Amino acid sequence: MASHAKTLQSSYPWTTSPLITSAPMRLIAGEALTLSVSRSHGLGFLAIGTDLASLALLKTITTSLHENPIPNTPPGILPIGVGFICFGIDLAAAVSTISSAPQKPAAAWLFAPREENDLIAWSSGIRDASAGKTAIWIQIGTVASALQVARTCRPDVLVIQGSDAGGHGLAHSSSLISLLPECADALSKAGFGHIPLIAAGGIADGRGVASASMLGAAGICMGTRFLCSPEAAISDGYRGAVLRAGDGGVSTARTKLYDRLRGTTGWPEQYDGRAVLNHSFWDHEKGVAEEENRRLYGESVKLGDEGWGEKARMTTYAGTGVGLINKIMPAGEIVKEVSRDAKTLLKRGASHL
């Protein structure tokens, strides 16, 4: 573990340990969130998602970092990561953008390939395009995937996504409390114990970070917590719905319904998404026909901020950690707060037992 922390610190020397990262949330994690997190000693991931046009943001970010650099950034490196949803985006275009970038993103986050073996081409394509400067991070959700990906792609980092995570993930997986140590043990046994693990799913404060460290993670990723930062590119209605939700095991659920209502198609069969339950969900449960439910969803889109919340219909992707989030805070302050609290808890740790 200590050596994993060292590996991450030498790869990302502007960061502190345990490493705090922000998730590459499609359409949400843009320049503002990414840079705020990296400027506060974390690693911010820019969401490219399935949208090649977002790759243009790399240029904007490069300019911004040129004007206001982050201390301790290695030469030729952009102190940010980029996240791809592999099933929905063209590898060749991603590779060509990275190879033509004068500075290479410090990490590429790969998620949701159509077939797991597609990650082999993604990993080698990005490694070659960046001359090895862009580290390969792969987000997985089962022990079998962790082992398979470790063997076939030799990732620099594995992100272990538990079932509490907000947004898309595997419909069948377990929460971090058992998934993370089981992955750590299995990887270690198979000779891949050198790969640092990042915990994702349900972590929203310093207690979660400290617990993830105890379970074997060298760092963590948060998505839901950062939704309640002004830098997340979402509406006030969305942010408010996350803030109001609590008791995440009952106020959120994993479902494919919201993808169908929104027309977000193409996700491989094994994925669904965790979101706050609302009228779309309740109507579905009551047996309202999907066509009518989709029409009602369309009506709620016209309501703006009023269309969000459990009594409304707009989809609020968020994880079970919603109840731990009680205020809107700048992303950089979130990184500092959870990092400080985790360190205090980890120092105190043993004396509590």
Token pair recorded at residue 302? 């016209």
Closest approach of ligand FMN to the CB of residue 67, in Å = 28
Token pair in block for residue 70: 């982050």
CA distances from 225 to 256, 298, 303, 331 (A): 22, 27, 25, 9
Shortest Å, Cβ 264 to ligand FMN:
11
Nearest Cα neighbor of 130 from 68, 93, 77, 182 is 77
**Shortest distance, position 222 Cβ to ligand FMN, whole Å:** 4
Least distance between ligand FMN and beta carbon 116 (Å): 15
Nearest residue by C-beta to ligand FMN?
223
Residue with smaller CB distance to ligand FMN, 165 or 195: 165
CB of 190 to ligand FMN, least distance (A): 23
Pick between residue 141 and residue 332 the one whose CB is nearest to ligand FMN: 141
Which is closer to ligand FMN, CB of 25 or CB of 77? 25
Q: Which residues contact 329 (CB under 8 A, 6 or more apart)?
A: 228, 229, 337
End-to-end alpha-carbon separation of the chain, Å? 20
The nearest distance, CB 109 to ligand FMN, in angstroms, is 6
Task: Select from 215, 109, 227, 122 the least CA-distant residue to 167.
Answer: 227
Binding footprint of ligand FMN on the chain (CB under 6 A): 23-26, 28, 47, 49, 83, 85, 109, 111, 139, 161, 164-168, 200-203, 221-225, 317-319, 321
Mutual angle of helices 31-39 and 57-67, in 10-degree steps: 40
Select 8 or 209, whichever has its Cβ closest to ligand FMN.
Answer: 209
Nearer to ligand FMN, 19 or 73 (CB): 19
The residue (of 73 and 136) whose beta carbon lies closer to ligand FMN is 136
Nearest to 227 by CA among 242, 244, 249: 242
